[in-house]
Structure 1
Amino acid sequence: MEKEKANDKILSYNDVVLRRSDLDILSGPYFLNDRIIEFYFSYLTSCYTSEDILLVPPSIAFWIKECPDSASLKDFVEPLHMSTRKLIIFPINDNEDVTRAEGGSHWSLLAFERQTNAFVHHDSSQAGFNNADAERVYKAVVSYTASGATYVDCPSSPKQVNGYDCGLYVTAISRSICAWYVSEAPKDMQNLWFSTIKEQVTPLLVSNMRREILDLVRSLMAK
């Protein structure tokens, strides 16, 4: 019975379905799952509606990373129209087992910005756990962006102070990057979003963001 309740659908938002177990994750100090990150990316897409911006759902980013052949990848990626996007954000997970849903133990973020012609990887772990996973996604999609962009592991990424907030860092950094992109800030490698996230993505803000997402879910449930 408890398992059935955990699987109860509580919210359908765009194409994302959240379940009661997702509320439990947001209510406690737990590792975020794919659904919560996909929900928040969908919410950000609703906030930033420009066709220039693409926030890739975790399941699609995972498939891109683990796709076994180039023909399948092409069929999968081309509908995303990456060659016309100016900002693309990928959530990166270290899961390598395509038969295991909700796998992996760490989230990070890979962002492509066309004007600076760069893919930038933000990993909140001290050791850069997802560097190889992010590079795999970069190598898989760079030709589809029609950019010849370079890859950079950002050494100044905000770092988590516990073992479970990596997904929240992904949501917080994604929000800051989107806000930076639509601002009037200069768009060059010297003035990328680094100072913005250093200022905005602090351990306190990230901790508060768990409650913020939970409150957002509850407010949408009440409508």
Structure 2
Amino acid sequence: MQMDKVVLSYGDSLLRSSDVALLDAPQWLNDNIIGFTFEFLASSLVPSRAERVAFLSPEVSQFIKCCGSEIKEFLQPLDLPNKDLVLLPVNDNAGSEAGGTHWSLLAYLRRFHGFLHFDSSPGTNAPHARCMAKNLSILFGGNLRYEEEEAPLQHNSYDCGMYVICVAEALSEQYVLGCHNINLQNITPQYVTQKRKEWKEIIRGLSCQPQNSGF
């Protein structure tokens, strides 16, 4: 049996060949791929903006959902109340471990004074996103706004994770550019399909660098 070899070690992310294979349709993305893409996007921001944006991993996001008031001490080092933009992947898994069947994106925007939830299958993850927003409000020191935001819609049963990545990337790019309005019109099914290929190329390129290689 072929070993599930390590393909890339990048920051706190470790990707194996089975993880990278999920970027081929019609596969669902797992915590490892989403965690890596978020870490890569965070590291790609210019330093002056990077300190004002937080990309939270799926593990941290799930902890926020499951642990309620305990999050305050745990998240203090992340300095989230002083961020302008916080991006959290939302999963419909009710437990504390990895799993679930659907991904969406919760975003805290300081200029909005609250949270926007982007779900490519509207309504599916709303209860989970609301729970996360409520728990995070404890950290931010009050009840903040929460809205279900119009999001690009998936046209299949497996691209929800890719929509999370694409919307998170778009929001961070628009923040860096100083855009006041959210524009996600370019995130079409064709765009999402192309992004699967682009992320595979990014991983391949990084894996060729000696400091990142899993070999």
Q: Assess same fold via TM > 0.5.
A: yes
CA distance in 2, matches of 1:165, 1:150: 28
Distance change (3 Å), C-alpha of 1:222 and 1:140: same
How do 1:1-223 residues align onto structure 2 when only pairs under 5 Å count? 1-2=1-2, 5-6=3-4, 8-48=5-45, 49=47, 50-67=50-67, 70=69, 72-98=70-96, 100-101=97-98, 103-126=99-122, 128-146=123-141, 148-154=143-149, 156-186=150-180, 191=181, 193=182, 196-197=183-184, 199-223=185-209
Runs of 4+ in structure 1 displaced over 3 angstroms? none
CA distance in 2, matches of 1:38, 1:90: 10
- Structure 2 gaps of 5+ residues are 210-215
Q: Percent identity?
A: 36
Residues 91 and 104, structure 2, Cα contact 8 Å, conserved in 1: yes
Which secondary structure state, in structure 2, belongs to the residue aligned with residue 167 of structure 1? helix
- Letter of the 1:220 counterpart: L
Residues 54 and 83, structure 2, Cα contact 8 Å, conserved in 1: yes
Which secondary structure state, in structure 2, belongs to the residue aligned with residue 108 of structure 1? strand
TM-score of the superposed pair, with normalisation by structure 2: 0.91
* Number of residue pairs matched by the alignment: 206
Residues 72 and 138, structure 2, Cα contact 8 Å, conserved in 1: no
Distance change (3 Å), C-alpha of 1:65 and 1:51: same
CA distance in 1, matches of 2:12, 2:208: 18
- Structure 1 gaps of 5+ residues are none
Q: CA RMSD in A?
A: 1.4
Higher RCO (CA-CA < 8 Å; seq separation 6+): 2
